Amino acid sequence: MRGLMQDWPLLVHKILDHAATYFGDRQIVTRAVEPDGGIRRTTYADIHRRARKLASAFQSFGVRLGDRVATLAWNTERHLEAWYGIAGVGAVYHTLNPRLFPEQIVYIANHAEDRIIMTDLTFVPLLEKIQDHLKSVEAIIILTDRAHMPQTSLRNVICYEEFVAAGSDSFEWASFDENTACGLCYTSGTTGNPKGVLYSHRSNVLHSLAANQSDALGVSNGDVILPVVPMFHANAWSLAFSAPMAGAALVMPGARLDGPSIYELLENERVTMTAAVPTVWLALLNHLEGNNLKLSTLKRVAIGGSACPPSMIEKFEKNYGVDVSHAWGMTELSPVGTVGTLKAEQKALPFDERLRIKSKQGRPMFTVEMKILDDAGKELPRDGKAFGHLVVRGPAIASGYFKGDGGQVLDGEGFFDTGDVSTIDAQGFMQITDRAKDVIKSGGEWISSIDIENLAVGHPAVANAAVIGVHHPKWDERPLLIVQKKPGHEVSREEMLAFLDGKIAKWWMPDDVAFIDNIPLTATGKIQKVELRNIFKDYRLPTAGAAAAAGGAS
Ligand code: AMP
């Protein structure tokens, strides 16, 4: 027998309808991308009106169900309008990451067959360089008004404000099946070509509902949220949907993501919650410490994208009274998978014990099923010790990549292999130890590079740290710690090793420490291990000679 409930398709534009009806006057504040733009203020009611006009303008342009419309843009209210305007005609918002190499952007735009690119002024020079290689693009909409339109060699350029103005005020959103494609975001693809993750309206709505649970991102209508995480990376951690769904105000940081600029917005706009990768928070904490500043309204910060070191959680919580939610996710998961909110019985534990739990990547939110497998595909125990391949299943998790790239990605039970290696403890808290391809295999056992990196960045002279496996004649691989010092700080190899000594198992201790001016990062702020392995490909560990001389046995 079937239930007798209404068939109400889960479409993302219904989120904006809700925000405009019940929280119409909530502010959306933007730091303008135009150099003289200052701060712009609008509301959900206005964004709702303008997104519908935009959708109607797209319809007149000939944009149809399933067409891809790309955005190459910072977090601004116009970018938000663009997502809803595109999705509201049944087209697909496709976020292009401007931090990728131009050749990758060309590859991605051609692969997606983008018909239109909506760009911020910042990226006009980039598009001028690559426009001759863009095969499917018919028009470029510049996200500004007439007064700020640039002199450009770009062809078929449209001014965004004029495009919106030409749209109809009486446009009604399109209605269609909730499984219709809604958004497209390519993985950064450190090896091989980037692959497209294609979100549906249903997956975006379900993911935002899940992310809004109070034990997950816990967004509510009293929040003022500053998404530093860009809309061009991993679906902006769903905040473009979660915030309006809950009626939370938004503060969009535009192009300025440095410590002082973020601090200014946090304080001036009375932000209560914010989200970004650890490198952003490192810059903010440096700014706060260097200038003896306090955070007067911020209550929560979500940190993810790469491992958040315990020293960062400790600083936020102890020095600034800000609660840290360490989260893990990936583009393929829409993107949030786990959040490190404590369970009720853990809240009364001593600080150090809570810190140990919060440093893990957290518990799955409802809609995410997860388990860890050994190399043979057998499930490993949830004991916080065994580590294996992390696989996930759920309604907002990719079932394949756009155009079938990468082939079949689900196992026989429908689980997706994340490519991460992790533990899961008895309480359900998952802890990432490595990307599977970065795991260090020493004498047949695995060493977690993330654990060692997390400790190393706790040293006051260390700006960033990475651990890679280097060939060893006896053990196959041994860890090499690579350190980027903070400007004006000194630390020696011996001091670094002494700092780690006693904090990790003896056989996890790095065999050597190398210093480097800049640890290379990817377009999404992760350590580029492939590049580091390349730089250190001829590196010989001091312990390698001894082992070789002893015949590799001792
Ligand atoms: P992306 O799709 O670019 O967001 O990258 C997803 C990958 O980032 C994951 O598979 C993890 O390897 C890594 N990642 C995300 N969040 C965390 C975290 N909190 N700790 C460690 N690694 C993370």
| Lowest-pLDDT range of 76-80, 321-325, 407-411, 536-540 | 536-540
Instruction: Report the separation in Å between the CA atom of 328 and the middle of ligand 1, taken as the mean of its atom positions.
Output: 6
Do 219 and 248 meet the contact criterion of CB atoms below 8 Å apart? Answer: yes
**CA–CA dist 242, 429 (Å, integer):** 23
Q: What is the pLDDT of residue 552?
A: 36
Residue 269, ligand 1, Cβ within 6 A: no
Q: What is the pLDDT of residue 129?
A: 98
Instruction: Report the separation in Å between the CA atom of 125 and the middle of ligand 1, taken as the mean of its atom positions.
Output: 31
**CA–CA dist 280, 275 (Å, integer):** 9
- For a pocket test of ligand 1, which of 306, 360, 372 has the largest count of ligand atoms closer than 8 A to its C-beta? 306
Do 203 and 209 meet the contact criterion of CB atoms below 8 Å apart? Answer: no
pLDDT tens column, 108-162: 999 999 999 999 999 999 999 999 999 999 999 999 999 999 999 999 999 999 9
**CA–CA dist 120, 118 (Å, integer):** 7
Instruction: Looking at the CA of residue 361, tell me the nearest atom of ligand 1.
Output: 19
Task: Please state the rounded mean pLDDT for residues 154-174.
Answer: 96
pLDDT tens column, 262-285: 999 999 999 999 999 998 999 999
Residue 392, ligand 1, Cβ within 6 A: no
Query: Residue 554: is its pLDDT beyond 60?
Result: no
- Is 446 annotated in the active site? yes
Do 327 and 302 meet the contact criterion of CB atoms below 8 Å apart? Answer: yes
Q: CATH says 438-553 is which class?
A: alpha beta
Q: Which of 81, 332, 453, 477 is catalytic?
A: 332
pLDDT tens column, 381-438: 999 999 999 999 999 999 999 999 999 999 999 999 999 999 999 999 999 998 888 8
Q: Which of 279, 317, 446, 485 is catalytic?
A: 446
Task: Please state the rounded mean pLDDT for residues 492-498.
Answer: 96
**CA–CA dist 554, 550 (Å, integer):** 7
Residue 328, ligand 1, Cβ within 6 A: yes
Q: Which helix (H) or strand (E) holds 249?
A: strand 249-252
13-424 and 438-553, same CATH topology: no
Domain edges within the chain = 13-424, 438-553
- Six-digit token pair at 2? 């079937």
Instruction: Looking at the CA of residue 419, tell me the nearest atom of ligand 1.
Output: 10
Residue 432, ligand 1, Cβ within 6 A: yes
- Six-digit token pair at 86? 């595109």
Instruction: Report the separation in Å between the CA atom of 253 and the middle of ligand 1, taken as the mean of its atom positions.
Output: 23
Q: Which of 187, 331, 367, 423 is catalytic?
A: 187
Task: Please state the rounded mean pLDDT for residues 73-81.
Answer: 98
Residue 435, ligand 1, Cβ within 6 A: yes
In total, the chain counts a number of residues equal to 554
Q: What is the pLDDT of residue 190?
A: 59
Instruction: Looking at the CA of residue 450, tell me the nearest atom of ligand 1.
Output: 21
Residue nearest to atom 4 of ligand 1 (CA): 330
Indicate yes or no: pTM above 0.85. Answer: yes
Q: What is the pLDDT of residue 193?
A: 85
Q: What is the pLDDT of residue 437?
A: 86
Residue nearest to atom 1 of ligand 1 (CA): 330
Query: Residue 61: is its pLDDT beyond 80?
Result: yes
Q: What is the pLDDT of residue 524?
A: 81
Q: Round the average pLDDT of the chain to a whole number and report it.
A: 95
Q: Enter the CATH code of domain 13-424.
A: 3.40.50.12780
- Is 441 annotated in the active site? yes
**CA–CA dist 377, 374 (Å, integer):** 5
